Amino acid sequence: MRKLFGILLLMVLLFFTRPIWEAPVEKYVDLSFLDSVDEVIGNVTADTDVSKALDEAKYFTTRISHQLQAMVKESSAALPEAVAKPELSDTESMVAVHNVTLGMSKEEAQQKLGLPLRLMENEYGTEWHSYHQDYQNYVLLSYDKNGEVNGMFTNQDLISSAKGLSMDSTKAQVRELFGTPLSNLQKGRVQYILDSRDEYDLFETADSYTTVFYDIHEGDTVTAVQVIDKGLEEQRGGIYAEPGPEVKEGYEFLLFELTNSARIQRELPLLKWDSETMETARDHSQEMADERYFSHTNPDGQSPFDRMKEDGITFFIAGENLAYGQYSAVFAHEGLMNSMGHRENIVKPDFGYLGVGVAFNSDKQPYFTANFFNR
């Protein structure tokens, strides 16, 4: 029995620590025998004659696994120090973000926000200027050719409004404040039906189009607001962006930033960008766009973990989020946050890295793949 226990312990140790040693070892050793080991472990767990020995082995491997995870977490991104929220001023505007309003000059806006940390091409043919301190006080601004604000976004408590809109407002209260939301949007000769699924409302005013996003898991309260100047929205020829490398990269980095903005609000460590995993995610998005399918499993039967391993990415924990057909990275992120399984990946404390890949099909619809993992 002691010899059997020793063999079982060795097998279980090899299995549970496989992600750590497999990559360097497989350069020198044929690891195909592990396929049969996986089956043996599965069969052994169902064998009542050795269940006690296996339970003891699992106890030790669980302890080792927890110790290894603790070591990895120590090397992952740490939670940054908290930054104070700005004092919000009263405004006569329908919506102000971080005390910035539509039409404000870039100079005045940046006196309030500082310099942008990243510029990302968006669906309007302009660039989102990203302002934050370790993703706290997160704001996106767009500017026209005259250097005046023509677009704003935030998913944090940075909203002031003459109408009383706040992040605590519910969907019902927002509709009382702003009236009936739009059900369609005209673009040229095409009228697009807004399939909001009650997760957001689009309101038209004299000078803007305002999208209010709701968190269906937190009482339909406001989770984000996007305000677009009427002229900027109406010059957009279609509901989808014109595909190109700048838009592709802009969507990828924006989904990454929005993920970290969601995490920091929940006091979770920030994710680090991983360019190798971005390539894996891009390949999957491109294949889905080209082959017109939408699945975590590709036509060759590969899972996200198979694809990551094939690309030489080592991990002890990993997950994948997919989105398709949303109008932009903002809409993709808000949709993912309203899907509990995808939301769990976004706010999972154990993850430390993220790579995002985007591709477009022939109808200009974007496919988003986000691969989360930790080493």
Contact in structure between 156 and 137 (CB atoms under 8 Å): yes
In this structure, the answer to whether residues 256 and 286 fall within a common structural domain is yes
Cα separation, 257 vs 240, in Å, equals: 21
Q: Are residues 188 and 286 in the same domain?
A: no
Is there a domain that residue 171 lies in? yes
- Higher local confidence (pLDDT), 327 or 49: 327
Q: What pLDDT, in 10s, does the model give residues 248-284?
A: 999 999 999 999 999 999 999 999 999 999 999 999 9
5: in domain: no
What is the maximum span of the chain, computed from C-alpha positions, in angstroms? 81
Is the domain of 258 the same as that of 366? yes
User: Which tops the pLDDT comparison, 128 or 43?
Assistant: 128
Q: Which two tokens stand for residue 148?
A: 């005046």
Has residue 120 been placed in a domain? Answer: yes
Domain match, 181 and 275 both = no
CA distance 6 to 24: 25
84: Cβ contacts below 8 Å, ≥ 6 apart: none
Q: Residue 188 — very low, low, confident or very high, per pLDDT cuts 50/70/90?
A: confident
Say if residue 156 is in the same domain as residue 229: yes
**Band of residue 11 on the pLDDT scale cut at 50, 70, 90:** low
Residue 65 domain-assigned? no
Phi-psi region of 219 (alpha: psi -120 to 50; beta: other; left: phi over 0): left
In a domain, 42, yes or no: no
- In this structure, the answer to whether residues 108 and 208 fall within a common structural domain is yes
Q: Is 188 exposed, middle or buried (0-12, 13-18, 19+ CB in 10 A)?
A: exposed
The per-residue pLDDT for 195 is 84
pLDDT of residue 10: 53
Torsion of the alpha carbons at 162, 168, 171 and 173, rounded to the nearest 10: -50
353-360: strand order across its sheet: 272-273, 353-360, 366-374, 317-324
pLDDT tens-digit profile of 84-128? Answer: 999 999 999 999 999 999 999 999 999 999 999 999 999 999 999
Measure the CA–CA gap between 357 and 249, rounded to whole angstroms. Answer: 8
CATH of the domain at 170: 3.40.33.10
Q: Is the pLDDT of residue 61 over 50?
A: no
d(CA 113, CA 107): 10
* Same structural domain, 230 and 249: no
Domain boundary among the residues 182, 207, 235 is at 235
Q: Is the pLDDT of residue 42 over 60?
A: no
Q: Are 109 and 219 within one domain?
A: yes
The whole-model pTM stands at: 0.80
3-state secondary structure of 277: helix
Number of H helices, E strands in the chain: 12, 15
Q: Which domain holds residue 356?
A: 245-374
Task: Give the whole-angstrom CA distance, residue 241 versus residue 366.
Answer: 9
Q: Provide the pLDDT confidence category of residue 26 given band limits of 50, 70 and 90.
A: very low
Of 235, 257, 292, which marks where a domain is finished? 235
- Examine the domain organization and report whether 231 and 249 are in the same domain: no
Of 235, 253, 288, which residue sits at a domain end? 235
As given in the structure block, the two tokens for residue 261 are 């903005």
Residue 220, pLDDT above cutoff 60: yes
Average pLDDT rounded to a whole number, residues 147-164? 97
Q: Are residues 169 and 281 in the same domain?
A: no
Q: Are residues 110 and 198 in the same domain?
A: yes
Confidence of residue 182 (pLDDT cuts 50, 70, 90): very high
Q: How many domains does the chain fold into?
A: 2
Reduced to 3 states (helix: H, G, I; strand: E, B; else coil), residue 148 is strand
Q: pLDDT by residue (tens digit) across 222-237? A: 999 999 999 999 999 9
In a domain, 254, yes or no: yes
Which band of pLDDT confidence, cut at 50, 70 and 90, is reported for residue 6? low
335 and 214 within one domain: no
> How far are the Cα atoms of 23, 31, 151 from residue 37, in angstroms, in the given order?
17, 10, 56
Strand-pair partners of 34: none
